[in-house]
Amino acid sequence: MNPFKPFSFSPRQAFRVWQREVSVYKYVYKSTIVSNLMDPLVYLVALGFGLGAFVSRIQGMPYIQFIAPGLISSSIMSAATFETTINTFVRIHFDRVYEAMMATPVTVEDIVVGEIMWAMTRSTIYATVMLGVVTALGLTHSWYAIFVPLLGALGGMMFAILGLTYTSLLKSIDQVNFYFTLFITPLFLFSGVFYPIDALPAIVKTIAFLSPLYHLVEIIRPLVIGKIGFGVVGHLVWIIVFILIFAAVPVNLLRKQLVK
């Protein structure tokens, strides 16, 4: 049987998958919002105030001002990544939520789209809450910042596709760690969140250009500080092309996991 048979996708059924995640989230949102947002906030406070005291201005702004939009971007990445790696792995292998769904009029395509929609929802929530914190600290200087939640959704989609692709290949939960240590952490450190990538050696700079997070940071920072140039369009195109190229990958991989 050809696993690459024609797609069978129903927006309504994908919405049902999304709704299941919302139902579960009602029970866990308090603990997850706090624990997931603590991370970027600790960086913001510790590095922004601590390291910021020793760093002179970067690109003409105080250090905390520089890293605040970067940390909004990385919270988008981590929200979508957690959702589509650890949580998705548990749904496939431990709780077997997808197996139960597949006994109903839900297909693998619906599951993948529903999960991406859900990861986008979470990254949008986090981007919005982080933006609120940054604004409360007086670090938002432009009304363009109202587009940040939209980028939460777009960036969430990008990282959800990546996360689902990786998770669909896994056999053991331990392998999830590799994704964080070998991919997410380097992205976090080399994507212009904490310093401009101009500071990096030429080769690393080229690699940074391949980082999805880098392009997200380079859109969100101008929106928050209000200095928008044409560069933003280039980064936006990069993200959209990336999504278009990889969008169909997780469906085909997950089908192999779920259809036996």
Partner 1 sequence: MRMISCVSPLTSGSLRVFGLDTAKSMREIKQRLGVVPQEANLDDQLPVEENLTVYARFFNIPSNIALVRAKEQLDFMELTEKRKAKVSELSGGMRRRLLISRAMMNEPELLILDEPTTGLDPQARHLVWDKLFELKKRGVTQIVTTHYMDEAQQLCERIAIMDQGRIIDEGAPQDLIQKHIGREVLEMRVSETMRTQILALSSPIVKGFDSYRDLLVLYTDEAERVLEKIKRGDINADYTLVRRSSLEDVFLKLTGRRLTE
Q: Which residues of the chain form contacts with partner 1 (CB under 8 A)?
A: 1, 8, 10, 12-13, 16, 19-20, 23-24, 27-28, 95-97, 99-107, 259-260
Question: 45 near 133, Cβ under 8 Å?
Answer: no
- What tokens were used for 150? 């939209």
Q: Which of 190, 161, 24 is nearest to 85 (CA)?
A: 161
Q: How far is the CB of 184 from partner 1 (least distance, A)?
A: 24
Q: How far is the CB of 24 from partner 1 (least distance, A)?
A: 5
* Cα 260 to Cα 6, 90, 102, 151, 221, distances in angstroms: 17, 18, 12, 37, 46
**Which residue, 100 or 237, has its beta carbon nearer to partner 1?**
100
Q: How far is the CB of 27 from partner 1 (least distance, A)?
A: 7
Q: How far is the CB of 125 from partner 1 (least distance, A)?
A: 18
**Which residue, 17 or 219, has its beta carbon nearer to partner 1?**
17
Q: How far is the CB of 176 from partner 1 (least distance, A)?
A: 18
**Which residue, 85 or 191, has its beta carbon nearer to partner 1?**
85
How many whole angstroms separate alpha carbon 251 and alpha carbon 248?
6
Q: How far is the CB of 98 from partner 1 (least distance, A)?
A: 9
Q: Which of 252, 78, 260, 80 is nearest to 169 (CA)?
A: 252
**Which residue, 47 or 92, has its beta carbon nearer to partner 1?**
92
58 - beta bridge partners? Answer: 61
**Which residue, 91 or 221, has its beta carbon nearer to partner 1?**
91
**Which residue, 13 or 36, has its beta carbon nearer to partner 1?**
13
How many whole angstroms separate alpha carbon 21 and alpha carbon 6?
26
Residue 194 DSSP SS3: coil
Question: 212 near 159, Cβ under 8 Å?
Answer: yes
